[in-house]
Chain A
Amino acid sequence: AQSVTQLDSHVSVSEGTPVLLRCNYSSSYSPSLFWYVQHPNKGLQLLLKYTSAATLVKGINGFEAEFKKSETSFHLTKPSAHMSDAAEYFCVVRFGGATNKLIFGTGTLLAVQP
């Protein structure tokens, strides 16, 4: 079965410390992987995407993610959290084959403490 799992529903970090948001997927196809961010009462903004090019992907606002096929993971990281990073983050997968729809993870709510 094709699925995406975000391992943490809530993550809390202090401002200036590293951020790690974890995502694993299962698929028999080669997936395209995305991270979207949703600020309160806002739409979904694309942070970064992996589409079978470089395994280390750099996105906006200092975020990056590494695709590890052997671990079926696509964890999102940032070296130093900022207060404005507080939001909900969705790991999203588009599997190959006949379908082109996105499958969302359940989201990780990131809190940044001063």
Chain B
Amino acid sequence: AAGVIQSPRHLIKEKRETATLKCYPIPRHDTVYWYQQGPGQDPQFLISFYEKMQSDKGSIPDRFSAQQFSDYHSELNMSSLELGDSALYFCASSLGGRNTIYFGEGSWLTVV
């Protein structure tokens, strides 16, 4: 069965650069979530979208922005990268906001 696809899987950027992570939800899923997991940390909720509209917002820095497109894929844009942004970024999707949430494999971002 198709799963949540994230790209790139690994990304290395320098401080103050910009990075974009992409997420392709499971087909027919209309809700996308972004989580950040720092080294040795539990995943922290960043932001979610339902039907292309932001539905919930967590601890997402102002330097980050995200959107969900007409085909339901989502992109997380991160600017002015800092060393502390180095983390595993998970995207997840669900059908509506009350059904099971499935996670992608994650995108490793390393800021040097």
Contact = CB atoms under 8 A, between A and B. Distances in A.
A100 B56 CA distance: 7
Given A43-B103, A43-B105, A104-B43, A99 B33 contact: no
A49 interface: yes
Interface residues of B, number: 24
Given A100-B55, A100-B56, A106 B42 contact: yes
A42 B48 contact: no
The secondary structure that dominates the A interface is strand
A25 B103 CA distance: 22
A44 B48 contact: no
Contact of B56 (A36, A51, A101, A107): A101
B42 A100 contact: no
Q: For chain B, what secondary structure do more than half of its interface residues adopt (helix, strand, loop), or is it mixed?
A: strand
Contact of B33 (A51, A90, A102, A107): A102
Contacts of B94: 100
Contacts of A46: 100, 102-103
B101 A102 contact: yes
In this complex, which of A36, A90, A100 has the most chain B Cβ atoms within 10 angstroms of its Cβ?
A100
A43 B35 CA distance: 12
Contacts of A32: 98
A43 B43 contact: no
Given A100-B48, A100-B55, A105-B42, A44 B100 contact: no
A42 B6 CA distance: 13
Interface of A: 32, 34, 36, 42-46, 49, 51, 90, 94, 99-107
6 contacts: A43-B104, A44-B43, A44-B90, A90-B42, A100-B56, A104-B44
Which 10 residue pairs across A and B have the least CB separation, nearest first?
A100-B97, A43-B105, A44-B103, A104-B42, A101-B45, A101-B56, A43-B106, A106-B42, A104-B43, A107-B42
